[in-house]
Structure 1
Amino acid sequence: MLTRMGRLAWVAAGMVTALAPWYGQPAALRLTAWVAVLAATVAISAPRPARAPLGATAAIVSVCGSLWAWQSLGYNFVDDGNDSSKLLLWTTIEVGALTALGVALTRNAGGSARLLGWLLPVPGAAVGLRLLPDAAIGEQLFLSALGAVTVLAGTLLGHYLRGLDEFRVAAVEQARSEQRRRVAADLHDYVAHDIAGIAVAAQSARIVGGSDPGALIEQVEQAATRALRRLDRSIQLMRDDDERTAPQYGLADVPDLVDAHPLPTELSLALPGRDDISAAIQATAYRVVSEALTNVARHAHPTVPVRVSAAQRDGRLDIVVANELSIRATPARATGPGAGLATLRARVEALDGTMRVGAENGSWQVHVTLPID
C-alpha cells in the first residue's frame, strides 16, 4: 500500500505528463488536462484508500490522456517518419495501461467501481482499430479481439487475485474462530471445574464452621492454584496456534480430577486395555467426567456423595457420574448455565457414542457410552 506522500508523487507525475502537451496548444486539448486534474483531485481527497489504489489509478488515467494528447499533436517519438510505428508504440502502451487498470479495479475496488473493470475490454478493442483503419474487416476484427482479450486477461487476473485475498482473510478468520473455540472449551471444561470447587469449599465453611478451617482453606488454595495453572494453559493456547503443543488429558488423569473434586467422590475404574483406547475417546471421557463433576458442584448440596465409574465392556467404554438426590441443593446454587452438557452431547455423538442425563434409581446420572473398537 502506497503512503500518502507516495500517492501524491504518482499523481503529480501523471499530472505533469498529461499537462505537458497542453502548454501552448489549442483549447481542444484542455479536456485531457482536466481529466488528469479530476483524477488527481479524487486521489488526494481520499483519506484512506484501503481497497482502491486511487493514486495509481489516477496516474494511469493521466498517462492515457497524455498519450492521446501527444498523438493529437502529431509528435513522432520514433522519429523515423513511419506513422504506423508510432501508432504501434502508443497502442501497445495504452493496451498495457488498460490491462493494469483492469487488474487494479477488479482486485481492489468495491461496488460499482469494480464493474468498470469488466467494461475495459471494450475500449481495449477500440484501441486496436487505429493500427489499420483501412484494412479488411477480418484484420480489424483480429486486432480488436487481440486488444479486448489482452485487457480481459488483466481483468480476470485481478478477479483471481481478489479471490486469493478473500480466501486468505477467510482462512485467518477461521483460524481465529477455532482458537476462540478451543479457549472457550478449555475455560469451561477445566477452569470452571476448579472455580466450582472454590464455591463448594466456601459453602462448606458455613456448614463445618470452625471445626476444621485449615482443611477448607487448603482446598480453596489448591483449587485456586489449579485454576490459575489452567488459565495459563488457555493463555498459551491464544499465543500458540499449534494445538499439538497443548497438553491433552485422558483416562490416566481422571483419578487426579476426582481427587481434586471438593465433594466426597468414589471412583471405580475397570480399564484393562486403557492404552489401546484412542486419544480422542480418552479426551472425551475426561471431559465427560469433568463436566459432570462441575455440574454436581454447581447444583448439588456440598455434602452429597458422588460416584464416578469407567469400565470397558463389549468393545465400548461406559462412563457414569451419579450423585444422590436425597439432599437438594440450595436455590442460590441450583442456578447456572446448561450449555456445557449440550456441547458435550454433540461431541459424544460425533464419536458415534450415546449420552443419557437424568434421574435414575434415586440418583442424578450422566451416562455416556463410547465405542472403542
Structure 2
Amino acid sequence: MRRLIAWLWLIPVPLAFGIDLLTSTGWPLITGAVLPVAAVLPILIRIQLGRTSARMLGIAVLGVFVALGLVAIAASMSLTVLWLSLVTLAMLGRFGSGPGPIALIAVLAVANIIVPSLLPDGLIFGLAFTTVIIVAISIGLMLRFTDRSFVERKATAAEAERRRIATELHDVIAHEVTGIVVLAQAAGRSDNAQLTSTALQKIEASGTRALEEIRRLVSETRTEAASRTPIAEGPQALRDRVEAYGQRAQISIDTGEIDDEAVWPVLDRVLVESLTNVRRHAGPDAPVTVSLTMSEERPTTLLMTVANGPGSGGIGAGSGTGLSSLRTRVSHLGGSIDAGVHEGGWMVRTRLPLTMKRDDGYYSRRGR
C-alpha cells in the first residue's frame, strides 16, 4: 500500500498531457507540454525507483525551466508543465541534500510564480501557484522525514533483534558450555576411568542440548516466531534446576499458591544464570542456597535469593552480559535485581511483583 501511494503522482500526468494536446494552439505550448513528458518524467521515475542518483534532479529542473520559458512565450498555462514542476519540487524536498537542492527549490519556486503572473489575470494565478508550491514543498519535506523515520525504525528493529538473539544465545548456551568446560576439566584431572566416562557422557548430553537450542533459535528467527516459549510453569521447574546442579545446591520454597504464571519463566532464567555464574566464578564445589519467599515488606512481591559460599575457583571472569539481560527481563515485569558480595561469596536477590486482580476485572502489578 505504501508503495502504491508513492506512485499516485503519475495518474494526473496522462490526463494533463491529453488536455494540453487537445486545447493547445501554436508550437510553443505544444512543445512546452511534450518536453517535460519526454525529458523530465523519465528522470523522476528513475529517481523514485532508485535507479539513478538524486543529482539528476538538476537536469529535471533544467527541463522544467525550458518548458516554463515556452509557456511564457505562448502566454498560456500548461497543466503538464505545472504538475511536473510541482512533482519536481516535491522530489527535491524529499531526496535532495545540501545547499544545491535548496537553491534549485528556491529558483524553481520563483520561476513557477513569475511565469503564471505574466498570463492574463496573472496576480490571481501567481497567488494560487504560491499556495500550491508551498504545499508541494511541504509534501516533499514530509516524505523526507517519513523516509528517515522508516530507516531509523528499521535499524532499531534490526538492533533489537540482534540483541534478542544475543541474549537467547547467552542464556541458553552459556549454561551448557560452562558445564561442559567444568566437566572437561574434571575429566582431565582424574585418573578414574569410570569418572572420566561419566563426565564424557554428560559432556555429550550437554553438547547435544546446546546444538538443539541453537537449531531451535535459528528456526524461530527464519520463521519470524514470537518470543521464546516459556521454559518454566511453576516452582517445580526451579527445584529441577537446583537438583540438576548437584548436591552442593539446596532450595527452599515458601510462597503458597501463586496464580501469576508470568513470573516462573523469569525466575527460572535468573536461577539458570545465577547457577552458571557460581560454577564459572566460584567453582562447582561452592555451596549454593536458593530461597523463594514472599517479601516481608511487600506481601505481594516474590523474593528469590541465590547465595553461594567460597569455592575452589571457576573457569574465569564473565562479561556481565548475563546480569544485564536479566535486569531487562525482570524490569519488564516491574521487578528488580540486586547482586553483590555476601559472606565471602556472592548473592543475587530478585524481586518480582505479582499480578493482582482489581475490582473492575483488570489485572495490574503490585509491589513496585
User: Separation in 2 of the partners of 1:312 and 1:70?
Assistant: 83
Match of 1:62 in 2: 63
CA contact (8 A) 2:167 2:325 kept: no
Classify 1:69/1:141 alpha carbon distance in 2 versus 1 (closer, same or farther; 3 Å): closer
* Aligned pair partner of 1:101 in 88, 102, 120: 88
**5+ residue gaps, structure 1:** 2-20, 23-32, 75-86, 133-138
User: Separation in 1 of the partners of 2:205 and 2:323?
Assistant: 26
Query: Percent identity over the alignment?
Result: 27
Q: Could you list the structure 1 runs, at least 4 aligned residues long, displaced by more than 6 angstroms after superposition.
A: none
User: Separation in 2 of the partners of 1:120 and 1:64?
Assistant: 8
Q: How does 1:256-335 map to 2 (within 5 A)?
A: 256-261=240-245, 264-274=248-258, 276-279=259-262, 281-312=263-294, 314-325=299-310, 327-329=311-313, 333-335=315-317
User: Separation in 2 of the partners of 1:317 and 1:67?
Assistant: 75
Match of 1:188 in 2: 170
* Aligned pair partner of 2:238 in 254, 257, 267: 254
The AA in structure 2 aligned to 1:199 is V
CA contact (8 A) 1:271 1:311 kept: yes
What is the root-mean-square deviation in Å for CA atoms of aligned residues? 3.6
Q: CA deviation at 1:69?
A: 4.7
Q: How does 1:34-53 map to 2 (within 5 A)?
A: 52=54
User: Separation in 2 of the partners of 1:184 and 1:119?
Assistant: 52
Q: How does 1:4-23 map to 2 (within 5 A)?
A: none
Normalising by structure 1, report the TM-score.
0.71
Classify 1:212/1:271 alpha carbon distance in 2 versus 1 (closer, same or farther; 3 Å): same
CA contact (8 A) 1:197 1:223 kept: yes
Classify 1:63/1:111 alpha carbon distance in 2 versus 1 (closer, same or farther; 3 Å): closer
Match of 2:199 in 1: 216
Q: How does 1:87-166 map to 2 (within 5 A)?
A: 87-90=75-78, 92-115=79-102, 116-132=104-120, 140-166=122-148
User: Separation in 1 of the partners of 2:83 and 2:218?
Assistant: 51
Classify 1:262/1:120 alpha carbon distance in 2 versus 1 (closer, same or farther; 3 Å): farther
Structure possessing the higher radius of gyration over alpha carbons: 1
Q: CA deviation at 1:147?
A: 1.6
User: Separation in 2 of the partners of 1:59 and 1:358?
Assistant: 66
Q: Does residue 217 of structure 2 align to residue 230 of structure 1?
A: no
Normalising by structure 2, report the TM-score.
0.72
* Aligned pair partner of 2:335 in 353, 356, 362: 353
Q: CA deviation at 1:355?
A: 3.0
User: Separation in 1 of the partners of 2:246 and 2:99?
Assistant: 64
Residue aligned with 2:54, SS: coil
Q: CA deviation at 1:59?
A: 4.7
Q: CA deviation at 1:335?
A: 2.4
Residue aligned with 2:245, SS: coil
User: Separation in 1 of the partners of 2:217 and 2:123?
Assistant: 66
The AA in structure 2 aligned to 1:130 is L
CA contact (8 A) 2:114 2:126 kept: yes
Q: CA deviation at 1:237?
A: 4.1
Residue aligned with 2:172, SS: helix
CA contact (8 A) 1:257 1:290 kept: yes
The AA in structure 2 aligned to 1:113 is G
Q: CA deviation at 1:317?
A: 1.3
The AA in structure 1 aligned to 2:353 is P
